[in-house]
Chains A and B, each alone.
Chain A
Amino acid sequence: MLEVIRDAKLQSPFILFVGHTTDPPASRTFVCDSFHPLPDSTDLNGSSLFISLVKSYIKSSELDTHVLCWERKTLRQLKPLQIQMSNLFLHDCLSDFHGWINPDETQTGFLSTIRKILPGNSREINVVIDSLSNPFFTIGFGVCLKELQQMINSTTENSPKIQQLLCFVHGDMVPCGTSSIGHVKHLATTVVDLNNQTARITHRKPGGHVERKEEQFVLSNGQFHIQALAGTVKSSVPSNTTLPQDVASFRVSLSDKEKEDRNKLVLPYMRTGDNSQEEGGGKVFYQPDAVDDWDDEDPDDDLDI
């Protein structure tokens, strides 16, 4: 699934990557990034995978890709690519996010930032945001969520249609507590939970079906490779065992001949033409009657099923 996303072939308007940290706090690595002074939250693997994926994504996508960089690392890594690729548009959102240097740079939203260097003729674009954690604080959580929704629905007037939106967010760097990550996930059509070296993917298909997958990835030389997950070879589910004829050790159905034979059976104590002609003597017959003592209960009621 990760490879499908990398090749820009997954039909999903909003793909969200969530980076998680699994290491206990004591062994957390320090990442020297000017914007992450905390002993980091930011899982290296997750964000590296994302950058590597985005690089290939830009190459394989035919549409223009606008990358909103809220992290220095992303900007640094994608700069060289900008020279080669004409369909890549980089937005440095970090260096002056509050318009202190240049008042024009004040950020009010994602779309207004994109519009600053948007070629006039572009109709459909892809947007990559790395990461959402910073704008959640600088622009505001509610505003960001609303604008993400608008971008997916393409409801804003005089802006290009956004074909696909790829976002990365640090799972523990969201305002209003870590539980609010659920709100961001709620908007996404595909959620990739990155945890150490595994990616857990939940993809919502347009029809309402949900696909879940787990993949293991290895990063080497800025490329990632998918490995087979160890120990997840599922025992093949025994096929269709709910029909009685499939599981019974004998034949359940009847042939026409057998049905005919069955109908010939005469129940005991039944008065039929044959035995009525026999000579007298004590004989017991049973005749179903309208005023019979019927019990309406289920005949199998006494069985403990």
Chain B
Amino acid sequence: MVTKNKTTYNLLDAAHAACSHTINIMAALTSDGNITSFQRKGRNRIPYIQGTRQSVQNAQILVSSGVPSLDHVVGNGLPVGSILLIEEDTFGTFSKFILKYFLAEGVACDHPLFLASRDFLPSTFIKQIPVPIKGDSSASGQDSKSDDPMTIAWRYQNMRQVQSIPGSSNSGTHLGHNFDLTQFILPEDLENCDYTLWSEPEENDTPLGNFCNPNYGLLLSKIQKKIAEGQFRVQDEPIKQSILRLAIHSLGSPMWVGCSCDESLDEGVKRDLPKFLLYLRAILRESYALAVITVPSHLFRDNSIIKLCEYQSDMALRLESFAGSSYETNPVFKEYHGLLHIRKLGPVNTLATHVPESLDLAFKLRRKKFVIEKLHLPPELQESAQREQDDISTEKRSGMGCSSSPSSKLDF
């Protein structure tokens, strides 16, 4: 197997090798080439980079996604050098918000940005990124407990309050900000940040790799150029180390249909998209950069495409919006805007993946906050033979919150 690899050594193999030796390279990333697993505590030579934190589990550099509750779900932050794949909701509303938060967090932490999209104009999108809320009052507001002591049912007094917002309990080293969606970034602030936009290939670019649709290769070469120019590679020694945030919107959308497309649309995407992710991951593994990529997975008829994409990324989440679906009016989901499905949490620099507290997650969007919560069902108050929870659990919704079997009734 090894000899075969050596003989047919091309870029693809190099990329494969890069990914299979994840642990080694990641170790190099974190401990400047010293690949021993035992290190003395406190002897850490990674320079502090603004807006980052080191993971306690695997010494990986983490950055915030811009949504603190999302950070908590994926393991306290997004590891640098990884790809987060987001499968868009049908109308793409919430995936755009996540990208906005990701970029806004970059602006707040003074990280360079890279935004690519063929569906909208990146230059208009970047003007709409929100600003952080100053003086976060949301944390103190929740402490107003009812000071009514329970005298009769006093055993309930010390019951733990249900924490539905993950991560709100551990208020230690705080990573990430909350953003106000109604306020856009000031133009002069935007001028001060270092950002690169991509929507149309430039003329003198040469595409990387042999993709069917050259646009994939052109985007890749642009990213590679940016990483090299900005000195984000591991071996580079810039004056001030920073993290490059790559946001790629709607990769594989109708705008990525090649001009010379004779066969079925899925075929072209199936060949190019997973390959793009593989190449990109190989590049990111050796640089101080991370990517959030959204894909319109609802357009892919072939299920294997999204499987391949999930395989080629480090983390994958799927957004399921209630907009326009029957769940919008369902009283069970009254409080939420959609469901968040965790498709993959890959092990990065470790053998075991992060296991979130709960897999039944829902999100809601408020003006000043995008929250991911454990899905709670409201109390059942109506007396009906068929409960609302039952018809959801029958619809093959894997991992839904209601654990009771459909037959069990609330009988007293």
Question: A and B, one complex?
Answer: yes
Q: Does B261 contact A (CB under 8 A)?
A: yes
Contact status A145-B257, CB under 8 Å: yes
CB closest chain-A residue, reference B403: A305
| A208-B93, A242-B379, A247-B382 known; A183 vs B254 contact (CB < 8 Å) | yes
Complex Cα distance A208/B91, Å? Answer: 8
* Nearest A-chain residue to B412, judged by Cβ: A303
User: Across the interface, which residues of B come within 8 angstroms of A143, CB to CB?
Assistant: 259
Q: How distant is the Cα of A145 from the Cα of B257 in the complex, in angstroms?
A: 8
B265 at interface by CB-CB < 8 Å: yes
Least CB distance, A291 to chain B, in whole angstroms:
15
Alpha-carbon gap, A172 to B134, bound state (A): 54
Which chain A residues numbered 118 to 163 have a C-beta less than 8 Å away from chain B?
A: 140-143, 145-146, 149, 153, 155
A251 sits at the interface (CB 8 A): no
- Across the interface, B121 reaches (CB within 8 A) one of A153, A183, A267, namely A153
B119 at the interface (CB under 8 A from A): yes
Minimum CB distance partner of A243 in chain B: B381
Given A179-B301, A242-B379, decide whether A186 and B296 contact each other with a Cβ distance below 8 A. yes
- Structural contact, A202 and B119, CB atoms closer than 8 A: no
With a CB–CB cut-off of 8 A, which chain A residues contact B259?
140, 142-143
CB proximity of B116 to chain A, nearest CB, Å: 15
| Cα distance, A212 to B324, chains bound together (Å) | 6
Does B156 sit within 8 A of A, measured CB to CB? Answer: yes
Question: A104 near B: Cβ within 8 Å?
Answer: no
**In the complex, chain A residues whose CB is within 8 Å of the CB of B299:** 182-183, 186
A142 touches B261 (CB 8 A): yes
Q: Are A241 and B382 in contact (CB under 8 A)?
A: yes
Per-residue interface assignment for chain B, residues 297 to 321, with 1 indicating a CB less than 8 Å from any chain A CB and 0 otherwise: 0110100000000000000000000
B239 interface residue, CB < 8 Å from A?
A: no
Cβ-defined contact, B151 with A262, below 8 A:
yes
Report whether A145 and B324 are in contact in the complex, using a CB–CB cutoff of 8 Å.
no
Q: Which residues of A contact B261 (CB under 8 A)?
A: 140-142, 175-176
B155 within 8 A of A: yes
Contact of A141 among B257, B301, B404 (CB under 8 A): B257
Nearest to A204 among chain B residues (CB) is: B91
CA distance A299 to B153 in the complex (A): 11
Q: Chain B residue with minimal CB distance to A259?
A: B148
Q: Does A81 contact B (CB under 8 A)?
A: no
User: Please, how many angstroms separate the alpha-carbon atoms of A100 and B197 in the complex?
Assistant: 41
What are the residues of chain B within 8 A of A210 when measuring CB–CB?
Answer: 91, 323-324
A187 contacts across to B, CB distance below 8 A: 254
Closest B residue by C-beta to A177: B264
Chain A residues whose C-beta falls within 8 Å of the C-beta of B263 in the assembled complex: 176
Give bound CA distance, A155 to B154, whole Å.
Answer: 66
Q: Which residues of B are found within 8 Å of A211, using beta-carbon distances?
A: 324
Contact pattern, A 244-263, Cβ under 8 Å of B = 1, otherwise 0? 10010000000000000011
Chain B hits for A242, CB < 8 A = 331, 334, 378-379, 381
Residues of B within 8 A of A184 (CB): 254
Known A242-B334, A304-B404, A305-B404; contact A145-B264, beta-carbon cutoff 8 A: no
The contact string, 1 if C-beta is below 8 Å from chain A, for chain B 252-282, is 0111011111011110000000000000000
A265 interface contact, C-beta 8 A? yes
**Chain A residue contacts of B298, Cβ below 8 A:** 182
- Closest B residue, CB atoms, query A210: B324
Say if the beta carbon of A101 comes within 8 Å of chain B.
no
Choose one: B159, B257, B323, B378; the contact of A209 (CB below 8 Å): B323
Minimum CB–CB distance for B258 against chain A, Å: 6
| Cα–Cα, bound, A183→B300 (Å) | 9
Q: Is A186 a contact of B254 with CB atoms below 8 Å?
A: yes
Q: Smallest CB–CB gap between A305 and chain B, Å?
A: 6
Q: Is B410 an interface residue (CB 8 A)?
A: yes
Closest to B329 in A: A237
Closest chain A residue, CB of each to CB of B152: A265
Residue of B nearest to A265 (CB): B152
Q: How far is the CA of A176 from the CA of B382 in the complex (A)?
A: 50
| B120 within 8 A of partner (CB) | yes
Interface residues of A, Cβ cutoff 8 Å to B: 140-143, 145-146, 149, 153, 155, 175-177, 179-180, 182-184, 186-187, 202, 204, 208-212, 237, 241-242, 244, 247, 262-263, 265, 267, 288, 298-299, 304-305
Q: List 12 A-B contacts (CB under 8 A).
A: A140-B259, A140-B260, A142-B260, A149-B119, A153-B120, A179-B301, A182-B301, A183-B265, A186-B299, A210-B324, A242-B381, A267-B152
